[in-house]
């Protein structure tokens, strides 16, 4: 659970709706579809994030907005500063993203079938402010993202587990070699004065 003081009421409503969707269960495809639909409704309202969630960091920020008590899902706010990339990584769960500000450039890769195999691009796309995308599923879980706008890219990410705690993999793009890593939560900065 994350502190909800001074949050826009629509964010609290979004959290409650995602929690209900996850509790209802169903196939991963159905779950992702419902979360994506609800994410689009939230984005249609414009930016409802508190200012402290919009702050870039020296490395990309993964701010916790909500973590389910049973860790069945988490909602992260990610901030990539101008030109800032992520490493090539997987997630180990499903995920839906909505871009609140800026443009996110995403490149999806095929999972290497053997060691020392370069990664192959499956999809190269831009997700713009107000758009929703599926970032990962059991079928497709490997990508790299970066800010592709002249302002920081801010996204709301919903994952099927506690994304700031689970072990994931970072991949070498030339060899496909992977190493285990955890992308920890970044403490949310104090609100700007």
Domain ranges of the chain: 9-181
Measured between its terminal Cα atoms, the distance across the chain in Å is 25
Of the chain, the percentage scoring pLDDT greater than 90 comes to 72
| 173 CB burial (10 A radius; 0-12, 13-18, 19+) | middle
Q: Give the residue-averaged pLDDT of 7-32.
A: 94
Pairing of strands 61-67, 120-128: unpaired
Average pLDDT for 167-193: 86
In the predicted model, is pLDDT for residue 3 greater than 60? Answer: no
Copy the structure tokens of residue 103.
Answer: 């443009």
- pLDDT above 90 for 146: yes
What is the chain's Cα-based Rg?
Answer: 16
Label residue 145 exposed, middle or buried (CB < 10 Å: 0-12, 13-18, 19+): buried
CATH class belonging to 9-181 = mainly beta
Q: Model confidence at 4, in pLDDT bands (50, 70, 90)?
A: very low
Q: pLDDT at position 172, please?
A: 86
Strand pairing of 178-181 and 168-171?
antiparallel
Q: How far apart are CA 172 and CA 155, in angstroms?
A: 25
Distance CA 150, CA 13 (A): 31
Give the pTM.
0.92
What is the model's pLDDT at position 125? 96
Helix (H) / strand (E) element for 120: namely strand 120-128
Cα separation values, 74 from 52, 146, 173, Å: 18, 21, 28
Q: What is the mean pLDDT of the chain?
A: 91
pLDDT tens string 48-78: 999 999 999 988 899 999 999 999 999 999 9
């Amino acid at each position: 659970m994350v502190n909800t003081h001074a949050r826009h009421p629509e964010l609290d409503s979004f959290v409650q709706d995602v929690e209900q969707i996850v509790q209802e269960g169903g196939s991963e495809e159905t779950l992702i579809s419902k979360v994506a639909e609800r994410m689009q409704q939230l984005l249609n309202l414009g930016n409802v994030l508190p200012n402290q969630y919009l702050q870039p960091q020296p490395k990309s920020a993964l701010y916790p907005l909500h973590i389910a008590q049973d860790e069945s899902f988490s909602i992260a706010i990610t901030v990539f500063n101008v030109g800032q990339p992520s490493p090539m990584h997987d997630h180990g769960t499903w995920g839906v993203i909505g871009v609140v500000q800026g443009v996110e450039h995403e490149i999806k890769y095929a999972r290497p079938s053997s060691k020392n195999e370069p990664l192959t691009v499956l999809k190269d796309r831009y997700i713009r402010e107000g758009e929703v995308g599926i970032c990962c599923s059991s079928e497709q879980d490997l990508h790299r993202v970066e800010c592709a706008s002249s302002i920081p890219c801010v996204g709301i990410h919903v994952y099927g587990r506690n994304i700031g705690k689970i072990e994931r993999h970072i991949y070498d793009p030339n060899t496909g070699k992977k190493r285990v890593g955890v992308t920890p939560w970044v403490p949310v900065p104090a609100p700007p004065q």
